[in-house]
């Protein structure tokens, strides 16, 4: 076979290195999986499917993690039964389990040093793509795929085509990573990157911290993407320092890699964005929704529950009270963020403003958490990633997605606001 000279995208390189095949978009490869995790929102659980296959031990107990995050308050008997099953499985298999209140899997797994650049990571959650911010291939799968990888240590993949998104310039004041990904969702639509990888690059990315990059990769699934991958740079190296050992290989795209589409966005002209009910790609600049009354505001989730998000929200809420009749829930993305927010005095700001602090994890994001279920006809503005009808447990409610700044500003007045007027 002749050696092809065509350059590779990041995902083509990762798929090649993990399969031993010189892989390009369109190829089907069987690749080694470095890390696999599952959570308590799955029915059946990953552990239950594994057990139903009649295999005694997972391929490698170090590569399998369970996280209790989707229903951290354990609101029902059924959930209690699932949590007990997960604990028994972890004990039997000698695998790690993160507990109620430790945080959302997409925060805790990278935060605790389980993710390295260049890895292949799969998990039974569609927002697993978040971890692409660490220059890794990370993608959501179902429980059957996870269980088969728990047995074989590998999984088949169709190597995706790649869309290159170049972010130029710098974000203006009051505009954040969340606005970037909402804008992109509006631009290419919910099906705009289906089966594809999105590589982010450009000076606009270089200026974003790793947490903000995670906000962007978190939501590439809302465009249908298989994964979203951020470049490796000094910021990421520093973020990883102290979390993982230095034994990893960053992955860079070749200059002559083939992309199916290139999208350039100039950040300087961007404004705060809002996704209106009931679709994530139903996006408008904030002016298109300004003044809409809201009864609930939610800050947190794996999209926007990190320290920088809480700091931005606290800066707007400091010394103020939210509108009477509005409920504000703040859910830190992990236990350590919760602790840091406490030490920095942010929790005091939120509590004094009238917020309720929710258990770290998927509180007030998935309807299965049974936190912050809205009433009929009520409107919710949230930093989460999905606004599907019924997402928070009531199909008769209306959900708007926005940045932490927009949500905080809107909580103060009880209607959707332009956060730039509150800074």
Partner 1 sequence: MTESKFHGRIFRFGDDINTDYIISAKHKSLILDHQQLAKHLMEDIRPGFYDELQGGDILAAGENFGCGSSRETAPIVIKEAGVAAVVAKSFGRIFYRNAINIGLPLVICNTDGMREGDGLEIDLEEGYVQMDGCQERIAIAPYPEQVKQIMALGGVKEWLIAAGYVPAKTE
User: Among residues 21, 32, 61, 142, which is the contact residue for partner 1, using CB under 8 A?
Assistant: 142
Two structure tokens written together for 252: 């860079």
The three-state secondary structure class of 366 is coil
What is the separation of C-alpha 311 from the centre of its chain, rounded to a whole number of angstroms? Answer: 19
* Beta carbon nearer to partner 1, 132 or 202: 132
Q: Out of 287, 388, 421, 423, which residue is the one contacting partner 1 (CB under 8 A)?
A: 388
User: Out of 4, 54, 256, 269, which residue is the one contacting partner 1 (CB under 8 A)?
Assistant: 54
**Candidates 47-55, 105-113, 168-176, 414-422 — which segment interacts with partner 1 by CB under 8 A?**
47-55
How far apart CA 205 and CA 224 sit, in angstroms, is 21
**Residue 28 lies near partner 1 (rule: CB under 8 A):** yes
**Residue 320 backbone phi and psi in degrees, to 5:** -120, 170
- Could you give the 3-state DSSP secondary structure of residue 31? strand
Q: Does the footprint of partner 1 cover residue 42 (CB under 8 A)?
A: yes
Q: Phi and psi at residue 10, in whole multiples of 5°?
A: -60, -45
Would you count residue 156 as binding partner 1 (CB under 8 A)? Answer: yes
Nearer to partner 1, 8 or 386 (CB): 386
DSSP bridge pairs for 263 = 165
| Count of helices and strands (H, E) across the chain | 14, 18
Residue 266 is a binding residue for partner 1 (CB under 8 A)? no
**With respect to partner 1, which residue has the nearer C-beta, 113 or 388?**
388
18 is a site residue for partner 1 (CB under 8 A): no
In Å, how far are 101, 178, 185, 237, 417 from 404, measured between CA atoms? 21, 8, 18, 26, 12
Q: Does 75 bind partner 1 (CB under 8 A)?
A: yes
Judged by CB under 8 A, does residue 151 bind partner 1? yes
Which of 194, 238, 262, 266 touches partner 1 (CB under 8 A)? 194
Here the tokens at position 171 are 């974000």
What is the longest distance spanned by two Cα atoms in the chain? 71
Q: Tell me if 63 contacts partner 1 by CB under 8 A.
A: no
Close Cβ partners of 124 (under 8 Å, ≥ 6 residues apart): 37, 38, 39, 42, 46, 140, 141, 142, 143, 146
List phi, psi (to 5°) of 293: -65, 140
Which of these segments, 39-47, 242-250, 303-311, 403-411, binds partner 1 (CB under 8 A)? 39-47
Q: Does 390 bind partner 1 (CB under 8 A)?
A: yes
Residues making contact with partner 1 (CB under 8 A): 28, 41-44, 52-55, 70-71, 75-76, 78-79, 81-82, 124-126, 128, 140-145, 148, 151-152, 156, 158, 190-191, 194-195, 221, 224, 226, 279, 366-370, 373, 386, 388-391, 393, 395
């Amino acid at each position: 076979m002749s050696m092809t000279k065509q350059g590779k995208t990041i995902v083509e390189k990762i798929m090649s290195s993990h399969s031993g095949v010189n892989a390009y978009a369109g190829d089907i490869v069987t690749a080694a999986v470095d890390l696999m995790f599952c959570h308590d929102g799955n029915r059946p659980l990953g552990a239950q499917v594994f057990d139903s296959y009649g295999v005694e031990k997972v391929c490698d107990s170090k590569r399998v993690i369970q996280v209790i995050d989707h229903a951290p308050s354990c609101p029902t008997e059924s959930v209690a039964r699932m949590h007990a099953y997960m604990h028994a499985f972890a004990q039997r298999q000698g695998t790690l389990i993160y507990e109620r209140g430790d945080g959302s899997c997409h925060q805790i797994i990278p935060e605790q040093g389980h993710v390295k650049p260049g890895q292949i990571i799969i998990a039974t959650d569609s927002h697993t793509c978040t971890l692409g911010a660490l220059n890794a291939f990370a993608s959501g799968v179902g429980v059957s795929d996870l269980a088969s990888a728990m047995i074989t240590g590998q999984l088949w993949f169709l190597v995706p085509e790649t869309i290159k998104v170049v972010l130029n310039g710098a974000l203006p004041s009051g505009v954040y990573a969340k606005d970037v990904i909402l804008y992109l969702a509006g631009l290419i639509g919910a099906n705009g990157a289906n089966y594809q990888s999105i590589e982010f690059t450009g000076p606009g990315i270089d200026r974003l911290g790793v947490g903000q990059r995670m906000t962007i990769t978190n939501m590439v699934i809302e465009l249908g993407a298989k994964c979203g991958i951020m470049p490796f740079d000094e910021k990421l190296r520093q973020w990883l320092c102290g979390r993982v050992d230095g034994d990893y290989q960053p992955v860079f795209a070749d200059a002559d890699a083939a992309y199916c589409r290139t999208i350039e966005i100039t950040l300087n002209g961007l404004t705060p964005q809002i996704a209106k009910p009931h679709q994530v790609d139903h996006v408008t600049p904030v002016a298109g929704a300004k003044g809409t009354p809201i009864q609930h505001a939610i800050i947190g989730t794996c999209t926007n529950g990190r320290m920088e998000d809480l700091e931005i929200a606290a800066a707007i809420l400091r010394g103020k009270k939210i509108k009477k009749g509005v409920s504000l829930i703040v859910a830190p993305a992990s236990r350590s963020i919760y602790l840091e927010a406490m030490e920095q005095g942010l929790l005091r700001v939120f509590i004094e403003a009238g917020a309720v602090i929710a258990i770290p994890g998927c509180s007030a994001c998935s309807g299965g958490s049974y936190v912050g279920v809205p009433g009929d006809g009520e409107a919710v503005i949230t930093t989460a990633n999905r606004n599907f009808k019924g997402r928070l447990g009531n199909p008769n409610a209306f959900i708007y997605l926005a940045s932490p700044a927009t949500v905080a500003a809107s909580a103060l007045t009880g209607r959707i606001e332009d956060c730039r007027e509150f800074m």
